[in-house]
Structure 1
Amino acid sequence: MAGTPRIAIDAMGGDGGPATMIEGAVLAASRDPALNFLLFGDESAVAAELARHPTLAGRAEIMHAPEAISGEDKPSQAIRRAKTTSMGLAIAAVKGHAADAAVSAGNTGALMAMSKLALRTMKGIDRPALAALLPTLGDNDLVMLDLGANTECDARNLVEFAVMGAAYSRCALGLERPSVRLLNIGTEELKGTDELRDAAARLRAEGHLHLRFDGFIEADRLGRGEADVIVTDGFSGNIALKTMEGTARFVTDLLRRAFTSSVRSKVGFLISRPATDLLRHHLDPNNHNGAVFLGLNGIVVKSHGGANVQGVANAIGVAASLVTNDLNRRIAEDLEMIRAHEAAA
């Protein structure tokens, strides 16, 4: 099915509900004529939205789900309702090979818990990780992980994250040998925790992998385009991500305030509008939407809860590219290289 990816969509997840999720599927389908969809949600609500988009006729099938996961549901509560909710049934479709990947804009904790329980971790992976594409000043976006799935990680986990992140970069960005760096408080080899230094030593020794390890990187260099993959534990990664998002909002709000402070500023805004539009486009999270739970026996993509149609389409596009480029096979091959190298050593 790699040539014709079928994507299971949790149509009830996210702030926009079925309207935004189905419009996102329409946009994604216009970009990729090979895509097909399973739409999970309340049948009447989903059918009403689908009727507004005849271009999906024959390419989307409605799968009734009597319940939906709310943003307030705890992961333990969500797991107990996996067989009756749109999120749980979308994941089950991946497990049962009815779909190649699942996309949801719903509760992140619930999605992670249900995905891990249903799909299980890949052989050779201790813990799955949450990865996302982030904008940079370089030619490509960067892949960053873990962004919150694991608050504490040892050196082995970080090495596995590097392998998974590099495979994701190869699939989503088309990079043959991505540059990988570990997030640290300094670039010197002696800086950081024992786990970081141990992970760095292991990655330097694994020169046969489909990645290039380029040492440590500090947080103030994340957006400079100096690496293709940034690896860290989920605690630091989540803080770094939220800091970057907050800084982006701060900059855009500051510019908006500056450009509306006087008549002269408003004239200046009109003159510089092409540049500010480019900035807004570059910082818009919808243009980089689609976080992935790496390390599971199946592909699950998390869309921002507040994503617009463009954002949902981008998340679906990420899922489709990972299916088409056989992400998990690439991860498994590199993990086997590590095991063979360790056995020989």
Structure 2
Amino acid sequence: MSGTTDESTIAATIALDAFGGDECPGPEVDGAVRAARTGARVILVGDRDKLELELSRHPGWDALPLSIHHASEVITMEDSPAKAVRSRPDASMPVCFDLVGQGKAHAVMSAGNSGAMLACGLFKFRRIKGVDRPALVTSLPTLAHGAGSSGSEDSGTSWVDLLDIGANVDCRPVNLVQFAIMGAVHASFKHGKAEPRVGVLSNGTEDGKGTELTRTVHRLLGTASLQGLRYVGYVEGHDLMTGEVDVVVTDGFTGNVALKIAEATGRLIGHWIRGAVRGGPRRLLGAALLRPAFDELRDKLDPDTYGSAPLLGVDGSAFICHGGASGFAIGNAIRLAERSVAEALTPRITEALARHAPLMAAARGDGTPPKESVA
């Protein structure tokens, strides 16, 4: 956790829940080995015998900065999050958080039950001072800023950070205001945005659009003195793809639906392209000539390229991968978690929230924080 250790001066160790994903522990071990071959330090947490068997499939693993910490239980996707965390202290996921608390690791990663990850974050890391609810954020590829606006053929890629994507179904204005601040810090950290452009997702750009929640947040952000971010107002669904905004803020229900539609659209485009090039010898020849372009497109559409979703707002580094994440995705996520510790993402969020304390007080209205959303 952020505590008293200067995280920017340490070599980060990642505690990886090796029994969280749909096909565990194969992808977790593969991802850990991939990351370790680039110098990352990883503790694989879970059943020791099964992990040693899986590691034996990777020659030379014992010379890598990898270790195993035995955990006798697991939390499944079907488990009630808070109940499972409390009743199974030796499950691989909460043990990962304990390793951070003991100073043996500096960040946690899991492809398991996202609700249980949120519960662990709240119970074991606690919230950053001033945060009412943590949020999950993901980065989506977009057009490069300005690409195509004047007939350009520029195929460059930019990024938009979307939050929340599922941690909080029902939100109050203070939650979305905090998401905006935390999302801007994340965009600065991950994408190098000096002053990220932040928008609130709505069904139109006019001031009167949206719901009571979005209108309140729109007013608060539009009239506040903001530091380190620029509020650009309402944005619509298509703005997730245009590159005209760096951070899009919404509640977890809407954000999760938007994310799933974006991912499904990418898969559909890939399916159409594969079908189109199988229409005969001439098409196959053309596809062979265009293969480098198709490979680049595949990487842009593949969620595995982007790794994981950090849990922003807890006082520590916690990352959640998709349950079906491949070893490639987990390896990318481990390197991102390592970088988040080295570049002090959590302390930067803490500082940004403190700078905007008057705005958050105004957003709370009656000063009463919402109840926790952990089941």
Give the TM-score normalised by structure 1.
0.92
| CA distance in structure 2 between the aligned counterparts of 1:165 and 1:82, rounded to whole angstroms | 32
Give me the identity figure in percent.
39
1:186 CA drift (Å): 0.8
Q: 1:209 to 1:263 in 2, by over 3 A?
A: same
Where structure 2 has 5 or more consecutive residues not aligned to the other structure, the ranges are 1-6, 145-156, 363-375
2:115 corresponds to which letter in structure 1? G
1:161 aligns with 2:179: yes
Secondary structure, aligned partner of 2:96: helix
**Count of residue pairs brought into register by the alignment:** 342
CA gap 1:53/1:300 in 2 versus in 1, 3 angstroms: farther
> CA separation of 1:204/1:268 partners in 2, compared to 1, >3 Å: closer, same or farther?
same
| Counterpart position of 1:246 | 264
List aligned pairs for 1:92-107, cutoff 5 A. 92-107=98-113
1:4 matched to which residue of 2? 11
Residue 68 (str. 1) matches residue 86 (str. 2): no
Q: State the match for 1:131 in structure 2.
A: 137
Give the drift of 1:220: 1.5
Is 2:195 aligned against 1:151? no
Which residue does the alignment assign to 2:30? 23
Kept in 2: contact 1:135–1:288 (CA 8 A): no
Counterpart residue type for residue 202 of structure 1: L
CA gap 1:74/1:262 in 2 versus in 1, 3 angstroms: farther
Match of 1:121 in 2: 127
Q: Which of residues 262, 270, 275 in structure 1 aligns to 2:280?
A: 262
Q: CA RMSD in A?
A: 2.1
User: Which ranges of 4 or more aligned residues in structure 1 deviate by more than 6 Å?
Assistant: 341-344
Change (3 A) 1:187 1:20: same
Q: Distance in 1 between matches of 2:295 and 2:60?
A: 33
Aligned-pair CA distance for 1:67? 1.5
In the TM superposition, what is the alpha-carbon distance from 1:341 to its structure 2 partner? 6.5
User: Secondary structure of the equivalent of 2:130?
Assistant: coil
1:91 aligned to 2:97?
Answer: yes
CA contact (8 A) 2:37 2:64 kept: no
- Which of 308, 324, 328 is equivalent to 1:306? 324
Match status 1:37 vs 2:42: yes
Contact 1:82 1:89 (C-alpha < 8 Å) held by counterparts:
no
Distance in 2, matches of 1:61 and 1:278, equals 35
Is residue 26–residue 56 contact of structure 1 (8 Å, CA) maintained in 2? no
Aligned counterparts of 1:343 and 1:173: Cα–Cα separation in 2: 29
Q: Contact conserved, 1:290 with 1:301, CA < 8 A, in 2?
A: yes
After the TM superposition, which of the residue ranges 144-153 and 80-89 deviates more from structure 2?
A: 80-89
Gaps (5+ residues) in structure 1?
none
Alpha-carbon distance in 2 for matches of 1:341, 1:309: 41
Corresponding position: 1:205 with 2:223:
yes
How many Å apart are 1:219 and its aligned residue? 0.3
Deviations 1:74-132 (A, max 9, x none): 31442234411111111222233322110111122222223222222211111111111
Is residue 292 from structure 1 mapped to residue 298 from structure 2 by the alignment?
A: no
More helix per residue: 1 or 2?
1
> Which moved further from structure 2: 325-334 or 233-242?
325-334
Partner residue in 2 for 1:278: 296
- Which residue in 2 is equivalent to 1:192? 210
Shift of 1:37: 2.0
1:192-221 Cα offsets, whole Å, 9 max, x none, are 122212212222333341111111110012
